[in-house]
Amino acid sequence: MTRILAASILALGLAIPATAQAQGTLFIDLNAVGATSLQDEQTSTYTTTVFSETANATATYPKLGTAPGGVFGAAWVGSFPLGVGINVTRSSYEMTAGLTAHLPHPLFFNRYGDGVGESGTLERTETAVDLSAVFAPVSKGAWVVRLMAGPTRFTAKQDMIELVNTIQSVNVLGGNTVTIRPPDVSTVDGSAWGFHVGGDVGYFFSRHFGVGGTVRMNKATIDIEDPLTGEAGELAVGHVLFGGGLRLRF
C-alpha cells in the first residue's frame, strides 16, 4: 500500500504544472479510522439430488462490522479554491459463517436429517483508491475545510465456503443424523469501479503541521463466482469511515 501511495502522490505531482504548484497548496493526510463495511448478511445455497430427493447445504455470511484501518492521502488545492486529491484505504475484517445441511435418508422417503455448524475464521480485505475532485472553501490560515467526491477503484479478497462437509449416520428404523464437519474454503477476489464522497476539517497550529478529522463514504459491487454454488454472486464493497490524524501542508 505504501508503494501505491507513493506512486499516486508522484503521479499527482506530475499532473500539476509547476506554475500551478507554486500558486497552490499541497496537503498530506495520515489518518487512523474506523471503517464500517457496507456488506450485509448474505446466504449461499447449494441444491442437489441425493437418493432421488432434494438435498441442500447453506453458508450464511454475517453482516460485517467496523474494523480499524489507515487512510493515507494527498491533495493539491489551487487558488480557485479547487483541486485534486487521492486517498488510499485498506481495511480487514474477520467473520464466521453459519453452515447447514439438509440430507435425505437413503432408505426412507422424506426422512431428512439436519445439521447445523460454523466455519472457522474467514477473512476479507479491501483496498480502495479514491480519486477526488476537491473543493476547499477554507484553505488558508489555521482552519482548512475540504470537500471531495469522485471515482473509487476497489480490490477485494474474501474467504468463502466451497464445500459443506458432513457425516451422516442412519439406521433401518429411519434415524438420520447429520453432523457438520470443517468446510472446504477458497478465496475469491475481484475489482470494480465505484464512487465516494467525503469531507475533512483540519486545524494547523503552525505553517506546516496540524491535526484533523475526516468522514468518507465509498461503495461499489464486485462480481464473483460463488464457490459453493458455482453461480454468479456479488460482494458489496466500500465503507463509511470516521477518523483523524496528522495533517501536513506545503
Of 81, 72, 86, nearest to 14 by C-alpha is: 86
Q: Are 195 and 217 in contact (CB under 8 A)?
A: no
pLDDT of residue 14: 43
d(CA 53, CA 73): 57
Q: Are 48 and 228 in contact (CB under 8 A)?
A: no
Domain extent listing, the chain: 2-249
Of 95, 121, 112, 107, nearest to 57 by C-alpha is: 112
d(CA 147, CA 155): 24
pLDDT of residue 210: 97
Q: Which fold has domain 2-249?
A: Porin (2.40.160)
- Hey, what long-range contacts does 11-17 have (CB within 8 A, 24 or more apart)? 12/74, 12/76, 12/84, 12/85, 12/86, 13/76, 15/84, 16/76, 16/84
d(CA 241, CA 21): 30
- For every one of its 250 residues, what pLDDT tens digit does the chain have, with 9 covering 90 and above? 434 444 444 444 444 444 444 578 999 999 999 999 999 999 999 999 999 999 999 999 999 999 988 899 999 999 888 999 999 999 999 999 999 999 999 999 999 999 999 999 999 999 999 999 999 998 778 999 999 999 999 999 999 999 999 999 999 999 999 999 999 999 999 999 999 999 999 999 999 999 999 999 999 999 999 999 999 999 999 999 999 999 999 9
Cell numbers linked to 171: 439406521
CA distances (Å), origin 236, targets 40, 130, 201, 228:
8, 17, 28, 18
Q: What is the DSSP letter of 107?
A: S
pLDDT of residue 80: 82
Q: Are 135 and 200 in contact (CB under 8 A)?
A: no
